[in-house]
């Protein structure tokens, strides 16, 4: 019997040296990716950036802002070849633990209504919709709304 094992990720703080690889992944998974400058600015602003690796290969990343008892996930992404293997959930749970350790009471994020897979992941992990931002995201035609999700920690 051949049993496929889920990969075991490791997490480490995002460094400036990681930004080329992070940006390369970002460009392959989004029509409107963050620029390397967006990531650099986030790190320079003191936001919490994290890398998800498998066997020393960067396969995912995230950027989270924490202030006044709130954590706000600004970007959480897994490379397309590594999606649907539990890594997004592992990274999300890692972020939730960091936020709890830093005494955050709640976590917020925005997600496109069209991103059904991500919405399901967030709902599965205790997030509930608390609002909508009209025309928040650029889209191939016009703009797309953002669902605002919250999870009480």
Q: Is 150 one of the catalytic residues?
A: no
Q: 80-89 contacts: CB < 8 A, separation 24 or more? A: 80/28, 80/29, 82/7, 82/54, 84/117, 85/6, 85/7, 86/6, 87/7, 87/9, 87/52, 87/54, 87/59, 87/60, 88/60, 88/118, 88/121, 89/121, 89/124, 89/125
Selected catalytic residue, list 110, 123, 137, 150: 110
Based on the residue annotation, tell me whether 136 is a catalytic residue of this protein: no
Considering 26, 47, 61, 122, which one is annotated as catalytic?
122
What are the catalytic residues? 110, 122
């Amino acid at each position: 019997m051949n049993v496929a094992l889920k990969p075991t990720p490791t997490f480490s703080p995002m460094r400036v040296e990681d930004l080329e690889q992070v940006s390369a992944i970002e460009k392959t998974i989004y029509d409107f990716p963050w620029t390397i400058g967006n990531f650099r600015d986030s790190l320079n602003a003191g936001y919490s950036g994290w890398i998800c690796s498998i066997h020393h290969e960067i396969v995912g990343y995230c950027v989270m802002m924490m202030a006044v008892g709130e954590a706000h996930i600004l970007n959480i992404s897994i490379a397309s070849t590594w999606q649907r293997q539990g890594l997004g959930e592992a990274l999300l749970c890692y972020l939730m633990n960091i936020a709890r350790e830093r005494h955050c009471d709640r976590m917020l994020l925005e997600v496109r209504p069209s991103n059904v897979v991500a919405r399901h992941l967030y709902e599965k992990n205790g997030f509930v919709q608390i609002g909508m931002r009209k025309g928040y995201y650029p889209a191939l035609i016009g703009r797309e709304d953002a669902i605002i999700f919250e999870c009480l920690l």
